[in-house]
Structures are given as C-alpha cells and as structure tokens.
C-alpha cells in the first residue's frame, strides 16, 4: 500500500484545511484564503478573478473567508492540474 508521498514533501506538516477564517489581504484588492491549496481572489473593475479555487470540500470555507464582492466572478485561473487547485472551480462555474 502506498502511504501518500505528499506527506513526505517539505512543508507537509504545515498543510491544513480551510476553516472559513477571514481571508488575508495582500493589498490592492488581492485576498488569500489559506487551505490545503490556498485560494486567491483578485478584484478588478469588471469583477472578481479567482486563482486556484481549491478543493471542492473547502469551497464553502473559501467562499465564507473571501470578502463579498458586488461584481460577479469573471474568471477562474488554475495554476496546476492537481485537484487541490481546481476541484472547487466546478462549483464556482455552476453558481455564475
């Protein structure tokens, strides 16, 4: 049985699921919601851009953590093909 090589990588002990705690402002209307894969929200004049939507099970927590935006989500950018970066994107797409 394979034990999960992700547990042996550097920084593995710092991995933690999203909790819904308020996102951290990185300045210029850029927000980070920590989780197994951090999710980012960037405000633009046309609407919000999500970068790395995160795990599907973390979706409600990332959504709760991000500041409310009067403008709709206009784009979702995925930096990698791993599910911890894109799985929540399916839910975002269905809601917009």
pLDDT along the chain (96 residues), means of 10: 59 76 92 86 90 79 78 83 58 51
pLDDT score recorded for residue 92 = 53
* CB distance 76 to 53 below 8 Å: yes
pLDDT score recorded for residue 39 = 87
Domain boundaries in the chain? 13-95
The beta-strand segments (E) located in 3-89 are 24-27, 30-33, 39-43, 48-51, 73-77
Tokens standing for 64?
Answer: 């709760």
Put simply, whether the predicted model's pTM sits higher than 0.85 gets the answer no
Strand order in the sheet with 24-27: 24-27, 30-33, 39-43, 48-51, 73-77
pLDDT score recorded for residue 3 = 55
Tokens standing for 6?
Answer: 């992700």
């Amino acid at each position: 049985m394979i034990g999960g090589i992700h547990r042996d990588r550097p920084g593995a002990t710092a991995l933690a699921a999203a909790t819904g705690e308020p996102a951290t402002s990185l300045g210029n209307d850029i927000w980070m919601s920590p989780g197994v894969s951090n999710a980012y929200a960037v405000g633009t004049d046309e609407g919000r851009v999500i970068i790395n939507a995160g795990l599907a099970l973390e979706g409600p927590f990332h959504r709760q953590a991000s500041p409310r935006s009067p403008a709709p989500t206009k784009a979702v950018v995925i930096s990698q093909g791993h599910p911890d970066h894109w799985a929540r994107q399916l839910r975002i797409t269905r809601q917009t």
